[in-house]
């Protein structure tokens, strides 16, 4: 069947893009554009542009908006400066993460959430509270890499050095009749920014920045390679490396066409039994986020989160896979008999892969954790994954076994070494020295 791409409200339709994703609700997204090796090097050498988390800004406003947010979040939201963003984490009563995402505070009574599921917050908006919820269709373009700031200055024609980490300010791109917002945030683990603005101007903004950055090596990051930066940069992500716990209860779905939650577990993969849903969920402690929890307020799941903080069982590490064992997985495709599960490149599972879970064991077979987010890092020339693992086995240098494959099929025991988390060892966004970044403005 031939599909006519007559409208593309988020990104331009480039003739050289190999594959797009057509989302019935959100429009056109890049799946695979530039060669993936070059793309996964972009946030170390130049910059990428990514449009895949575009959708709707979720706005909570009213005199009780902050109280509703506090009731849902493990974070302290009462010391939140206006004009700053926070990474909010929401749990269920058992302390399992049901949602997380970035939220920006615009004023005393107005907050915006991006690319996250609002169900946990909506449940705290009680009928007797002054809270209003609305959706505004916007684009969100992400940029990361040492040349990202230079390129954005070239595209906007103004200095953006005053945008501090987790802050935002308005800006414009010449020739485009819309005010947009730039924020210094990102998940790649290095210097990173976002541009946000009205969806109808998305294609023009995307192309303007891409054309400015192309001579400097900017790459178009698509969904095929997107989670490489999360795994390298040490950012666990729902749908990417774990599932959100709302999935476990179909009754918890919300009746909203933009934010409905699927209760289907069809297609769960990994050596862990597909019936073991808990292995696909995470607590704040299991992804290294216990430090965000502040027990100065009541919130959903506080008792469980606090108990874990006092007596943590597992933490998150990077696992570096033994290359000989990885090669053996590929070699099995050229041998008779059942081959091992193929590791796709650059992400071991096609996205989204939050439902994939592989057992981690000691050499003598004791189960000690779950591996997810299997990724080939071309930068390091290594296969790595995130491992949620018992504290007793989380020491750097410890060797474990990852049981790669699908339940009931041939499993490869891959030797893996516990390594630093996050794995990317480049200067991080919050500490990046902007004086080392060349200006994108014309020299006078």
Residue 272 lies in a domain: yes
Pairing of strands 168-171, 180-183: antiparallel
Q: Does residue 282 have a pLDDT over 80?
A: yes
361 and 411 assigned to the same domain:
yes
Give the phi and the psi of residue 286 in degrees, each rounded to 5: -70, -15
276 and 329 assigned to the same domain:
yes
pLDDT at residue 321, as a whole number: 98
Span 65-79, average pLDDT: 96
Give pLDDT tens digits for 286-311. Answer: 999 999 999 999 999 999 999 999 99
Residue 105 lies in a domain: no
Residue 160's CATH number: 3.30.1360.120
| Secondary structure E strands in 115-203 | 132-144, 168-171, 180-183, 192-198
Domain encompassing residue 198: 19-56+136-222
- 167 or 117: which carries more pLDDT confidence? 167
| Secondary structure E strands in 175-230 | 180-183, 192-198, 219-220
What does the DSSP 8-state code read for residue 227? H
pLDDT band per the 50, 70, 90 thresholds, residue 24: low
321 and 193 assigned to the same domain:
no
318 and 411 assigned to the same domain:
yes
What does the DSSP 8-state code read for residue 429? G
Which among 183, 196, 157 has a CA at the least distance from the CA of 55?
196
At 7, list the tokens: 């409208």
Give the phi and the psi of residue 188 in degrees, each rounded to 5: -80, -15
3-state secondary structure of 383: strand
pLDDT band per the 50, 70, 90 thresholds, residue 261: very low
Residue 384's CATH number: 2.40.30.110
206 and 341 assigned to the same domain:
no
What does the DSSP 8-state code read for residue 340? P
Residue 115 lies in a domain: no
163 and 39 assigned to the same domain:
yes
Span 60-77, average pLDDT: 97
CA angle (317 as vertex; 382, 104 as ends), nearest 5 = 105
At 237, list the tokens: 């992500």
Spell 184-215 as b/e; 16+ CB within 10 A means b. Answer: bbbbbbbbbbbbbbbbebbbbbbbbbbebbee
Give the phi and the psi of residue 321 in degrees, each rounded to 5: -80, 145
251 and 206 assigned to the same domain:
no
- What domain count does the chain have? 2
Residue 99 lies in a domain: no
pLDDT at residue 22, as a whole number: 74
User: In whole angstroms, what is the distance from residue 419 CA to residue 313 CA?
Assistant: 18
User: In whole angstroms, what is the distance from residue 347 CA to residue 5 CA?
Assistant: 27
Q: Is 435 exposed, middle or buried (0-12, 13-18, 19+ CB in 10 A)?
A: exposed
Asked if residues 29 and 51 have their Cβ atoms less than 8 Å apart, the reply is yes
326 and 381 assigned to the same domain:
yes
Chain center to CA of 423? 15
User: In whole angstroms, what is the distance from residue 373 CA to residue 76 CA?
Assistant: 29
155 and 300 assigned to the same domain:
no
280 and 163 assigned to the same domain:
no
Give the chain's count of helices (H) and strands (E): 8, 18
At 355, list the tokens: 């439902």
Backbone angle region of 189, left / alpha / beta, with phi > 0 → left and psi within -120 to 50 → alpha: left
pLDDT at residue 18, as a whole number: 76
212 and 355 assigned to the same domain:
no
- Give the chain's largest Cα–Cα span: 68
Residue 111 lies in a domain: no
Span 5-24, average pLDDT: 74
Residue 368 lies in a domain: yes
250 and 205 assigned to the same domain:
no
Chain center to CA of 185? 12
Residue 122 lies in a domain: no
Give the percent of the chain with pLDDT over 70.
92
Residue 273 lies in a domain: yes
Please state, in angstroms and as integers, the Cα–Cα distance from residue 280 to each residue in 245, 270, 350, 417, following that order. Answer: 9, 10, 16, 22
Give pLDDT tens digits for 309-354. Answer: 999 999 999 999 999 999 999 999 999 999 999 999 999 987 678 8
CA angle (230 as vertex; 227, 234 as ends), nearest 5 = 155
pLDDT at residue 248, as a whole number: 53
Give pLDDT tens digits for 386-407. Answer: 999 999 999 999 999 999 999 9
- Count of C-beta atoms within a 10 Å radius of residue 218: 23
């Amino acid at each position: 069947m031939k599909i006519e791409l007559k409208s593309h409200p988020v990104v331009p339709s480039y003739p050289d893009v190999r594959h797009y994703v057509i989302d019935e609700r959100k429009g056109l997204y890049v799946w695979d554009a530039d060669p993936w090796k070059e793309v996964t090097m972009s946030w170390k050498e130049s910059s990428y542009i990514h449009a895949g988390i575009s959708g709707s800004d979720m706005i909570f406003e009213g005199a009780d908006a902050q109280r509703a947010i506090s009731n849902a979040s493990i974070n302290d939201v009462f010391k939140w400066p206006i004009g700053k963003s926070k990474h909010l984490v929401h749990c269920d009563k058992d302390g399992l993460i049901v949602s997380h995402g970035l939220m920006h505070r615009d004023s005393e009574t107005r907050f915006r959430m991006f690319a996250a599921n609002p169900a946990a917050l909506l449940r705290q908006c009680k009928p007797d509270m002054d809270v209003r919820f609305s959706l505004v269709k916007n684009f969100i373009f992400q940029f990361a890499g040492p040349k990202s700031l230079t390129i954005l200055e070239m595209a906007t024609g103004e200095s953006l050095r005053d945008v501090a980490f987790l802050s935002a300010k308005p800006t414009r791109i010449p020739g485009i009749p819309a005010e947009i917002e730039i924020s210094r945030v990102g998940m790649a683990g290095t210097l990173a920014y976002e541009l946000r603005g009205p969806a109808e101007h998305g294609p023009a903004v995307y192309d303007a920045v891409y054309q400015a950055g192309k001579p400097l090596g900017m790459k178009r990051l698509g969904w095929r390679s997107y989670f490489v930066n999360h795994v390298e940069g040490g950012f666990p992500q729902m749908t990417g490396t774990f599932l959100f716990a709302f999935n476990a209860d179909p009754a918890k779905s919300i009746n909203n066409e933009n934010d409905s939650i699927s209760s289907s577990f069809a297609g769960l993969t990994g050596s862990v039994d597909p019936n073991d849903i808990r292995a696909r969920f995470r607590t704040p402690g299991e992804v290294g986020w216990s430090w965000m929890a502040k027990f100065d307020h009541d919130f959903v799941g506080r008792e469980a989160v606090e108990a874990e903080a006092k007596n943590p069982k597992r933490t998150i590490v990077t696992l570096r896979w033994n290359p000989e064992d990885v090669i053996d997985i590929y070699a099995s495709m050229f041998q008779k008999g059942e081959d091992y599960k193929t590791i796709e490149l650059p992400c071991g599972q096609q996205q989204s892969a939050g439902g994939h879970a592989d057992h981690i064991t000691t050499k003598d077979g004791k189960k000690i954790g779950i591996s997810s987010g299997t990724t080939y890092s071309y930068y390091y020339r290594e296969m790595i994954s995130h491992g949620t693992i018992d504290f007793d086995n989380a020491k750097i240098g410890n060797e474990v076994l990852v049981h790669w494959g699908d339940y009931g099929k041939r499993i490869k025991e891959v030797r893996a070494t516990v390594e630093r988390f996050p794995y990317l060892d480049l200067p991080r966004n919050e500490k990046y020295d902007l004086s080392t970044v060349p200006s994108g403005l014309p020299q006078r």
